[in-house]
Structure 1
Amino acid sequence: MAEAEEMGSRESRWSLHGMTALVTGRTKGIGFHAIVEELAGLGATVHTCSQNEANLNECLSEWRKKGFQVTGSVYDASSPAEREKLITTVSSIFNGKLNILINNVRTNILKPTTEYTAEDFSFIMATNFEST
C-alpha cells in the first residue's frame, strides 16, 4: 500500500514519460540505483552502463522485473574509444534524442599525493573529467 501511495505521489509531482536518460556509474552504488529507479519510475526510458557486465546484467534483470524501461551496456569511462562507442550506442537506442545525462562516474587512487604517477593522474582525469 505504501509503495502504491508513493507511486501516486511521485506521478502527481511530475512525469518524465517520453524522456530519455543516460546514467553512468558503478552498478554497486546505492546512489546509482536510486537515480536509475527514480528516473525510470517517473517514466523515462533509461540507458545505463558499467564496467562489470555481470553486475550490469543483474541490475537490468532487477529493473525489468519492476517494469522499468532500462537498457545497458558495458563501458570503461577512462577510455576515449569506449566513450565514443557509448555515444553511438545511446544515440542509436534513443534515435538521437537524449534529454537527461547523469554522469555518476568517478574514481580515485588512494595513496599519498606525492606518490601519484603521471599515469595515475591521467587515469583520474580521464575518468572523472573527460568522461563528461
Structure 2
Amino acid sequence: MSNENRPWEGRVAFITGAVTGIGLGIAQAFADAGMRLALSYRNEADRAQTAQWFAAQGYEEPLFCKLDVTDRDRFAEVAAQVKDHFGEVHVLVNNAGVSVFGPTDEATYDDFDWIMGVNFGGVVNGIVSFLPAIKQSTGRRHVVNIASMAAFLPGPQAGIYTASKFAVRGLTESLRFNLAPHGIGCSLCCPALTRTNAWTSALKRPDDFGESGFGETDKTELEQFGTAFEAGMDPREVGEKVLRGMGEQRGLILTHPEHGPDFKEIYDASMAALPDEEAPADRLKIEELRREAMRKAEAGILMKMDDLT
C-alpha cells in the first residue's frame, strides 16, 4: 500500500495511559496505520496483555514506559528514552486521566489537586516534555489532547472533572495556533460514553490525596454507575476517528454523533445572552484584528502581541 494511503506509516507516537480504554484503542488504530509506538502504563498486567495483542497481530512491540503523568522528572526521562530509542518523535497523544465525581461544593483541596493534577497537569507535562523533540523532528507531526464531552457539558457531580476538561480544551485550542508555524498539527478530541473501566478511577485514589470531601466510595453504587459504560462506543472506534481527524488536520475531533441537541442548546443560550445593542467602532476593530490574527496563525503565520492592536 502506498504511503499516500498510509500517511502516518513509520511515524513515532507516544501515547499516555495507553494499555487500557481509549488509550489502547488509539494505540491499536495507530498500529494498524503502520506507526511505531511508545506507550505509557501503570499496571503490569495491563501492559502484558497489551504486549500480547501486538504480538498476536504481528506488529512491532511498542516501547513500554512506566509513568505517572504527574511526575515531571519521570516524564522528562521518558521523553529522552523515546527519542533515544526511535531517533525522532512525531506524535504526542495526551490521553491519561481520571474520572472522579462528587459535589463540587463539598470538595477538598485534595480533590482539586488530584483530579486537576492528572487531567490537566498530565497534559501540561506531556507538552513540556515532548514538544522540544517533536519540533526537532521532521515530516508529518501532530499533538492530540484527549479531553471529553465534559469540555462542553458540565454536570452537578462533575465540577472538578469538567474544570479539568475545559482547561484542556482552552489549552489545546490556543496551542494549535502556536504549533501551526512549526508545521505541527494540533487536535482536541472530546469523546463521550466509551466502553472502558474509567469509572474505577475513584477506587485508585493515591494516599497523598486521601482527604476527600466526596465521602467514602460506595463500591456498589460505583459499579452500578459503571454499567452505563457497557453501552459506550468501542475504544478502537474512537482511536480510528482520532487517526482520521489527524489526517484531516482537524482542530476539533468529536467522536460521538448524539450530542447535536447539546450543541444547539449551547449555541442558542450563548446567542440569547449577548446584549442586544451596538458595539462601538473601536471595539469592533480590535475584535476583527483578533479574528484575523487567529486565521493567520492557523495558516502557519507566526503572530505577535502587536498584531492584536
Name the TM-score, length of structure 2 as normaliser.
Answer: 0.36
- Structure 1 residue 113: Cα displacement: 0.9
Which has the higher Rg, Structure 1 or Structure 2?
2
Match for residue 129 of structure 1 among 114, 117, 120: 120
Within the alignment, does 1:24 sit opposite 2:10 as a pair? no
SS of the aligned residue for 1:25 comes to coil
Within the alignment, does 1:81 sit opposite 2:73 as a pair? yes
Unmatched segments (≥5 aa) in structure 2 = 124-309
Name the TM-score, length of structure 1 as normaliser.
Answer: 0.79
CA distance in 1, matches of 2:77, 2:17: 16
Question: Following TM superposition, where does structure 1 have runs of at least 4 consecutive aligned residues deviating by more than 6 angstroms?
Answer: none
The aligned residue for residue 115 of structure 1 is 106
Unmatched segments (≥5 aa) in structure 1 = 1-7
The aligned residue for residue 32 of structure 2 is 41
Within the alignment, does 1:98 sit opposite 2:89 as a pair? yes
The aligned residue for residue 59 of structure 1 is 50
The aligned residue for residue 3 of structure 1 is none
- Structure 1 residue 14: Cα displacement: 2.2
- Structure 1 residue 100: Cα displacement: 0.8
Q: What percent identity do the matched residue pairs reach?
A: 23
8 Å Cα contact 2:23/2:96 also seen in 1? no
Match for residue 68 of structure 1 among 39, 51, 59: 59
CA distance in 2, matches of 1:115, 1:80: 29
8 Å Cα contact 2:19/2:47 also seen in 1? yes
**Cα-to-partner distance string for 1:10-64 (whole Å, 9 max, x where unaligned):** x8732322210011125221x2222111111111101111111221121012112
Q: Which structure carries more relative contact order (alpha carbon 8 Å, separation 6+)?
A: 1
CA distance in 2, matches of 1:64, 1:53: 17
Partner amino acid, structure 2, of 1:89: Q
Alpha carbons of 1:45 and 1:108: their partners in 2 closer, same or farther (altered >3 Å)? Answer: same
CA distance in 2, matches of 1:118, 1:26: 28
Number of corresponding residues = 122
The aligned residue for residue 180 of structure 2 is none
Partner amino acid, structure 1, of 2:13: A
- Over the aligned positions, Cα root-mean-square deviation in angstroms equals 2.2
Which has more strand, going by share of residues?
1
